Amino acid sequence: MIYQCNGCNKTTFETTCPTCTVSAAPPSAGLTPQYLTPLDPSFYPDFQYQSKGLLKDLLGKKKEQAQLNDLLNSVLRKYAELKKPYFTNFIHTTRSQGGTYDDNVLPGARIDGVYSERELFREVLIRQGFNELEGFPALLDKLLLTTTFNSAYTGFSRELSRHVKPSLRETLASWIEEAGTNFRTNLSLFFYFLWENDIQYPEVEYNQQAVNTAGLSLLPQQKIQSFLKHCEIIHFDILVERLTSQLEHFNPNRFVTMYLVDAMDGFQFEAFLVEIFQTIGYDVKETKKTADQGADLFVTRFGKNTVIQAKNYSGSVGNSAVQQAISAKAFYGCDEAMVVTNSYYTKSAKELASSASVRLIDRGELQNYLDDYNQKIIEQFELEATE
């Protein structure tokens, strides 16, 4: 089984995160010690028999395991029935992503009349027959984490499928060239994708017993580390080749620097962002310049619609830009909201964005976009030269 550590977001075949040093989760969260989320909910420790000593194991293991299996089968059946649309749509529409459910909160109405999104969602599921959530409320957070992980893996799979080549090195190089340093986070997920789709390379040998056995790794951690070193070499070569190409083909009249961005007015900045996002692979739609309800442009990729608020500022960007993005996301029914600036954000703007799941692109990240944009210009220049 493959897991994602919610402390560092890395994926792993291990039952504990090999690199994360996050302290144990609070008891109310009901999560595994290092926040590990399995892609398959049947691999949560709650559904695995925990040894109670030799004598008690001999007397009670079969009975308790049978009870666990009955609970697991019931939960998995109901989860499969309700995953679409309930779980999947909830993770795309909720404002809160962390596992913070309080076991002491009972289902139903209360005298204070204040309910979290999780409480209301749990009631929706209970009324749909998911009665296990009444006695095991932390299960909801675990299933939501798994749903989120599954959703991310679906997008990852669509993207990675475009990079499959005849050899492992070619596949890794194609993937790393587009994904950048994300290979450090998702290398285990990369190999899980190859295994799941029966894409075989002689360098990779899987432990097939791990498919149905908790605690066994599909690939040993030592092998992952070996492949990681190989990926670092590939990434280093890509960076060197890019710099070589830039030095050979640099044309200051075609390249865009951050200083040119700073000199743009608001409309020029919005128009330039259209070019930026189109160049790096997004479908882009501009809004009307009046009555845009806080939206400057819309971008789409991997089926997700994102509304963008553009702010070309000389000072720090505050709460109002984030509030405009939140309003635009709700008004247009987008999946995500983003604010892009050539400057930086105030502390309060960051806090508001974090609570509302609005992505903030500041000067540093915009520079990364500019680097990608300029690299595409180089590639186009080279293509034109060969033709």
Residue 297's pLDDT is 87
Integer Cα distance of 173 and 176 in angstroms = 5
Copy the structure tokens of residue 333.
């029914």
Residue 26's pLDDT is 44
Q: 122, 178 in Cβ contact below 8 A?
A: no
* Segments making up each domain of the chain, as ranges: 3-154, 158-249, 258-386
H helices, E strands: number in the chain: 13, 8
Residue 107's pLDDT is 63
How is domain 258-386 classified at the CATH fold level? Trna Endonuclease; Chain: A, domain 1 (3.40.1350)
Residue 81's pLDDT is 85
Residue 253's pLDDT is 65
Integer Cα distance of 15 and 216 in angstroms = 8
Residue 191's pLDDT is 94
Q: Is this prediction's pTM over 0.75?
A: no
Residue 66's pLDDT is 62
Exposure b/e, 88-109, CB count within 10 A at least 16 = b: bebbeeeeeeebebeeeeeeee
Residue 223's pLDDT is 92
What strands, in cross-sheet order, belong to the sheet with 283-286?
A: 283-286, 297-301, 304-311, 336-341, 358-361
Please report, for residues 58, 97, 157, 245, the alpha-carbon distance to residue 15 in angstroms, rounded to integers and kept in the order given.
25, 22, 22, 43
Average pLDDT per block of 10 residues along the chain, 387 residues long: 83 83 44 68 67 46 60 80 84 60 61 77 85 76 85 88 94 89 90 93 89 82 93 93 76 76 88 85 70 70 84 89 90 89 92 90 90 80 64
Residue 380's pLDDT is 73
